[in-house]
């Protein structure tokens, strides 16, 4: 997997974490086979063991000194920590002992009788985690020995690793009060309750022979209050005696560490090293220079980007490392990735069809491991001149390549300044005009876009891409699938239909394939949650739309029904945030270019007779900077980008958008500022916390559809359960603006789950309509 440099000994090199799905998504397929009952727990564990051992061996062979363990997960690392602490919500009937797959996956996915725990975004990434549910009566017991068993597994191979744990303070700061617990309850108050478990884990690791342990505390980059910072001091002071004899690394990532947090982390007793993200933490280097660094401690310098796929500028990184070396000392500086490499694709070697010039500009996880070691060797006086020279040539090629720049696109984007691109008529008047044309019932029902992606459907797309079937055969197959989806929705009596997106493997990849300035991989998969993997496109140059992208399919679908058919688009901010984005210009400039491309598509859909157009912005909240001082600027250009896409449509054209799996309450005013006619938004899996913002008095005048059931769980909600959710919505939202819909798209579900769930959803809407009519 890793191309090799000559290695005489292991230099001071460190990897924060590594992709766990495997180069060909081996874990994904093993998980899904296990969930479907087609393979055993032993089969799943064997795939996982083989992947782990392969990764450790490859990093060891590449010369990495500090190799992570316990970064592998069957779902996510926060859920692993919940299992370690035995913090299982009561509804799963956990009775103690080692937590097995049954309880673990029930928490992640739900089961036939109880819903899953909430899922939300991991900081500002497209990775998700299962949110811990805690209360004053939560009992903690050491219930998963995964960290120790994986350390021993690596040691049996002759590989010394650094076990990685989510730090105790970050774990609690990412938790929420359990259902039935006062919302004012602070999970951080449980710090003293979980530290004994951490002591047990570290004692076992020490007994097993571990010499280093890594605590990931990324919440240190957030705007923390004084009592939250004090919790770090309290936690690691309490752990100090149990950590004696171990080297302890506190790892941070995703942003600058604020000055007060830096002071806190560098003052912690019993800590051997601090990991800093020097890619997204653009001011951190200056902080280290001005504030200094404690003598005798290691600085793990994150100079290789763990979140993007561009080749490192080795000369620039070496210069940074040399500046740091002068501050912390030659033997106390460790070259590291900025964060876990799980946010990048696995190995560039697998990309046999990628354009050779663009390929020379890239580095996936395997190549980043080599970059880390090359920098560590160079810092130690063993610079590989040929490797550095090839890297410099690739950097120069990218800067000078004519394929990167399109002057016409740049001029069009520059011309956007000076207008806020709002639609002329206010949303209330637009909704009236749209209702006269669409004639929808109260509580109109719809779905979010995608329908189940069957094996046959995936095969058709695969064969078409491989030129094994003709375009005519492909169109015929997709048309048949659209017809099936349309008929099903009509039978279910859904009001506003979708075509099911059978022509799309992924909502971002599909559009990127048809826009200029994008490149695509064959195996560039990245985990999003559980077994769900995405293949982010690579934005390498200026973006434009050469031709219509969705009009053909939308017109075809609309011709099959008299009901409104949504045109389905992905918004510019989501395309940006779910891509590997060029790093040679500000992100907002790229976003404006994408917005102009989507604007052309919106106008073509309207001209083709599509009356309802959904422009998904599922990732708008995801891209919100972690530091409050940077958030207003981001929200300004992100919301502006969305408005650009639809500012020219008629009042009678209804613009929808969709958002999911983030905390939206703190940006509700920006959501209102998007000026969409209707927003569908995830709500059910997060215990309907979205509704609290309306209870607190926020007025929302546009159409809104808070999700009535969780599509990421195989569980089928009853009509009564959905009706109860709708009633909770009606308590805080006007009847005439409320829509009824699932949380998200249905592509990951099976028809055996989708049909009864949608049947119950429509029944619930009709039940409420009848009840509302009888009260008039």
Cα 443 from Cα 427, distance rounded (Å) = 18
Task: Identify which of 275, 330, 274, 276 has the alpha carbon closest to the alpha carbon of residue 297.
Answer: 274
Cα 570 from Cα 770, distance rounded (Å) = 35
Strands 566-570 and 580-581, sheet pairing: unpaired
Residues 215-227, buried b or exposed e (16+ Cβ, 10 A)?
Answer: bbbbbbbbebeee
Cα 761 from Cα 757, distance rounded (Å) = 6
Whether the Cβ atoms of residue 646 and residue 614 lie closer than 8 Å to each other: no
For residue 386, count CB atoms less than 10 angstroms from its CB and return exposed for 0-12, middle for 13-18, buried for 19 or more: exposed
Question: Catalytic: 712?
Answer: yes
Cα 681 from Cα 620, distance rounded (Å) = 12
- The number of residues making up the chain comes to 776
Give every CB contact of residue 653 below 8 A, 6+ residues apart in sequence. 434, 606, 610, 611, 612, 613, 646
According to DSSP, residue 764 is labeled H
Radius of gyration of the chain (CA): 26
Cα 334 from Cα 297, distance rounded (Å) = 11
* CA 44 to chain CA mean position, Å: 24
Cα 492 from Cα 386, distance rounded (Å) = 64
Q: Mind giving me the DSSP string for 606-664?
A: HHTT--EEEEE-TTTTTTS-SSGGGHHHHHHHHHHHHHHHHTTS-TTSEEEEEE-SS--
Strands (E), 217-347: 247-251, 273-277, 298-304, 333-337
Phi, psi of 134 (to 5 degrees): -125, 155
Cα 663 from Cα 731, distance rounded (Å) = 21
Whether the Cβ atoms of residue 66 and residue 301 lie closer than 8 Å to each other: no
Which listed residue (14, 421, 640, 712) is catalytic? 712
Q: Which residues are catalytic?
A: 712
């Amino acid at each position: 997997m890793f191309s090799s440099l000559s290695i005489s000994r292991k230099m001071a090199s460190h990897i924060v974490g590594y992709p766990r799905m495997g180069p060909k998504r081996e874990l994904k397929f093993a998980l899904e086979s296990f969930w479907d009952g087609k393979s055993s727990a032993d089969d799943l564990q064997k795939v996982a063991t083989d992947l782990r051992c392969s990764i450790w061996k490859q990093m060891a062979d590449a010369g990495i000194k500090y190799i992570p363990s316990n970064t592998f997960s069957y779902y996510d690392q926060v859920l692993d920590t919940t299992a370690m602490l035995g913090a299982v919500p009561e509804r799963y009937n956990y009775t103690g002992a080692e937590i097995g797959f049954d309880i673990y996956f029930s928490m992640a996915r739900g089961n036939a009788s109880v819903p899953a725990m909430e899922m939300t975004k991991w900081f500002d990434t497209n990775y998700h985690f299962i949110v811990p549910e805690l209360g004053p009566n939560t009992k903690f017991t050491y219930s998963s020995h995964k960290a120790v068993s994986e350390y021993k597994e690596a040691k049996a191979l002759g590989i010394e690793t650094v076990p990685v744990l989510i730090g105790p303070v970050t774990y609690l700061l990412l938790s929420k009060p359990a259902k039935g617990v006062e919302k004012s309850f602070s999970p951080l108050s449980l710090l003293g309750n979980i530290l004994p478990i951490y002591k047990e884990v570290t004692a076992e690791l020490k007994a097993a022979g571990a010499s280093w342990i890594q605590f990931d505390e990324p919440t240190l980059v957030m705007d923390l209050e004084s009592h939250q910072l004090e919790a770090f001091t309290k936690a690691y002071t309490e752990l100090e005696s149990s950590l004696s004899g171990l080297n302890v690394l506190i790892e941070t990532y995703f942003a600058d560490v604020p000055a007060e947090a830096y002071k806190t982390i560098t003052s912690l007793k019993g800590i051997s090293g601090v990991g800093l993200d020097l890619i997204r933490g653009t001011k951190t280097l200056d902080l280290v220079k001005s504030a200094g660094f404690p003598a005798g401690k290691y600085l793990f310098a994150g100079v290789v980007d763990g979140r993007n796929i561009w080749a490192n500028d080795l000369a620039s990184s070496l210069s940074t490392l040399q500046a740091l070396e002068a501050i912390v000392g030659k033997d106390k500086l460790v070259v590291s990735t900025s964060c876990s490499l799980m946010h990048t694709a696995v190995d560039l070697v697998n990309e046999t069809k990628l354009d050779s010039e663009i390929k020379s500009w890239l580095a996936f996880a395997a190549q980043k491991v080599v970059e880390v070691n090359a920098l560590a060797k160079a810092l130690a006086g063993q610079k590989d001149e040929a490797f550095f020279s090839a890297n410099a040539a690739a950097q120069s090629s990218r800067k000078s390549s004519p394929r990167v720049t399109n002057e016409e696109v740049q001029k069009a984007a520059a011309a956007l300044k000076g207008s806020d691109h709002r639609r002329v008529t206010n949303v209330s008047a637009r909704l009236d005009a749209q209702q006269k044309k669409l004639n929808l019932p109260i509580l109109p029902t719809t779905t979010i876009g995608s329908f189940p992606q069957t094996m046959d459907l995936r095969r058709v797309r695969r064969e078409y891409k491989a030129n094994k079937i003709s375009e005519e055969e492909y169109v015929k197959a997709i048309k048949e699938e659209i017809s099936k989806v349309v008929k099903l929705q009509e039978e279910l009596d859904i009001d506003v239909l979708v075509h099911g997106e059978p022509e799309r493997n992924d909502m971002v990849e599909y559009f990127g394939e048809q826009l200029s300035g994008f490149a695509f991989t064959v195996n560039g998969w990245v985990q999003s949650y559980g077994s769900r993997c995405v293949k982010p496109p690579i934005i390498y140059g200026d973006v434009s739309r050469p031709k219509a992208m969705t009009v053909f399919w939308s017109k075809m679908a609309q011709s099959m029904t008299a009901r409104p058919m949504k045109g389905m688009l992905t918004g510019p901010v989501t395309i940006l945030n779910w891509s590997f984005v060029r790093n040679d210009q500000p992100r907002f400039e790229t976003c404006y270019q994408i917005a102009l491309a989507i604007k052309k598509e919106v106008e073509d859909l309207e001209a083709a007779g599509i009356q309802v157009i959904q422009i998904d912005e599922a990732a708008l909240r995801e891209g919100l900077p972690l530091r409050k001082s940077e958030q207003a600027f981001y929200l300004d250009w992100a919301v502006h980008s969305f408005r650009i896409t639809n500012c020219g449509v008629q009042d009678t054209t209804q613009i929808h958008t969709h958002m999911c799996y983030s905390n939206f309450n703190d940006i509700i005013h920006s959501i209102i500022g998007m000026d969409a006619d209707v927003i569908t938004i995830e709500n059910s899996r997060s215990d309907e916390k979205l509704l609290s913002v309306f209870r607190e008095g926020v007025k929302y005048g546009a159409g809104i559809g808070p999700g009535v059931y969780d599509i990421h769980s195989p569980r089928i909600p009853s009509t009564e359960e959905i009706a109860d959710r709708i009633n909770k919505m009606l308590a805080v939202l006007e009847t005439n603006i409320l829509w009824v819909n699932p949380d998200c798209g249905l592509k990951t579900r099976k028809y055996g789950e989708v049909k009864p769930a949608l049947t119950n959803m429509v029944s619930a809407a009709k039940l409420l309509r009848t009840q509302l009519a009888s009260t008039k």
